C-alpha cells in the first residue's frame, strides 16, 4: 500500500501550526498528495482546473465581502444604530427574537444564504443589537462583545435548526441514505417533520438566553435600558 498520498495531511498540520495562509496550505497539501500518488503535473493541472470550473459558483459569495465593506465605509453600521435608536420601545430581546424567528422560518423554506454573518449580522444585526441594548449609558467593550456574540449565536441557531426542516437539505438526504443502507426506508418528509420539535425547542431556549442576557445587562448598566413597562422582554 502506498502511504505517500497521506503526506498532504502532514503539510496541512505543519502549515496551520506555522500560521501560514490557509489557501496556500490547502493547495500545497493537494499538490503534495497528488505527487505522492504518482500523478503527473499535467494531470494535476487538469484536475485543479476541472475542480475550479465545476465549483466556481461557490465563489460568488466572495463578491458580497467588498460590497459590505464599501457600505460599512460609508456608515452602514452607524445608520443602522441610529435607525434602531429611534424605536424607544424596541428592546434587545424583541429585536433578536424577531430576527431568530425570521432566520429560522427562511431556513425551513431553503433560503439559507439569504442571511448570515457576513451579509446581515456584522453590518446590520450586531450594530442594531448594540443600539437596542444601549439606552442612555454607553456599554463598555466587554458588554459590546457580548451583545455581538449573542447576535452571531442567534443567527447560528436560526440557521442550524431551521435548515434540517427543509426537505432538500443535504443533511436530510444524508440521513435518508444512511438508514436506507441499513435496510430502513424513511421519507425525507418524515425526517424533516421529526426535526421540527428540535427546531422549536432551540428557538425557545435561544429566546430565553437572549432575555436573560438583556436582564443581565440591565443589572450591570441600570441606565442603559429603558425602565418602561415591557422593555426587558
Q: Angle 126-133/141-163 helices, nearest 10 degrees?
A: 130
Has residue 1 got a pLDDT over 60? Answer: yes
Least confident range from 45-49, 187-191, 218-222, 223-227: namely: 223-227
Note the pLDDT of residue 61. Answer: 64
What does the pLDDT average to over 19-35?
88
Distance CA 93, CA 132 (A): 9
Distances (CA, A) of 191 to 159, 167, 194: 17, 8, 5
Please tell me the distance from the alpha carbon of residue 78 to that of residue 114, in angstroms, as a whole number. Answer: 22
Rounded average pLDDT over 40-56: 79
**For the segment 52-106, what is each residue's pLDDT rounded down to a tens digit?**
777 666 666 667 777 777 877 888 878 887 888 788 788 899 999 999 999 999 9
- Report pLDDT for 232: 37
Give pTM, 2 decimals: 0.66
pLDDT tens digits along 133-173: 886 567 888 899 999 999 999 999 999 999 888 877 777 77
pLDDT at 11: 93
Amino acid at each position: 500500500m502506498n502511504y505517500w498520498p497521506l503526506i498532504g495531511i502532514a503539510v496541512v498540520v505543519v502549515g496551520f501550526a506555522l500560521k501560514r495562509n490557509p489557501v496556500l496550505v490547502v493547495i500545497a497539501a493537494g499538490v503534495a498528495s497528488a505527487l505522492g500518488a504518482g500523478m503527473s503535473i499535467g494531470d494535476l493541472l487538469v484536475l485543479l482546473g476541472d475542480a475550479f470550473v465545476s465549483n466556481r459558483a461557490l465563489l460568488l459569495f466572495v463578491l458580497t465581502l467588498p460590497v459590505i465593506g464599501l457600505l460599512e465605509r460609508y456608515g452602514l453600521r452607524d445608520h443602522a444604530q441610529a435607525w434602531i435608536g429611534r424605536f424607544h420601545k424596541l428592546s434587545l430581546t424583541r429585536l433578536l427574537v424577531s430576527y431568530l424567528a425570521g432566520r429560522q422560518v427562511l431556513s425551513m423554506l431553503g433560503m439559507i444564504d439569504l442571511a448570515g454573518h457576513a451579509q446581515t449580522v456584522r453590518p446590520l444585526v450586531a450594530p442594531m443589537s448594540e443600539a437596542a441594548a444601549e439606552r442612555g449609558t454607553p456599554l463598555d467593550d466587554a458588554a459590546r462583545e457580548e451583545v455581538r456574540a449573542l447576535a452571531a449565536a442567534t443567527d447560528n441557531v436560526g440557521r442550524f435548526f431551521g435548515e434540517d426542516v427543509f426537505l432538500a437539505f443535504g443533511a436530510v438526504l444524508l440521513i435518508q441514505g444512511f438508514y436506507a443502507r441499513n435496510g430502513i426506508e424513511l421519507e425525507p418528509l418524515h425526517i424533516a417533520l421529526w426535526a421540527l420539535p428540535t427546531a422549536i425547542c432551540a428557538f425557545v431556549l435561544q429566546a430565553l438566553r437572549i432575555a436573560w442576557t438583556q436582564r443581565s445587562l440591565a443589572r450591570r448598566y441600570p441606565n442603559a435600558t429603558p425602565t418602561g413597562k415591557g422593555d426587558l422582554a
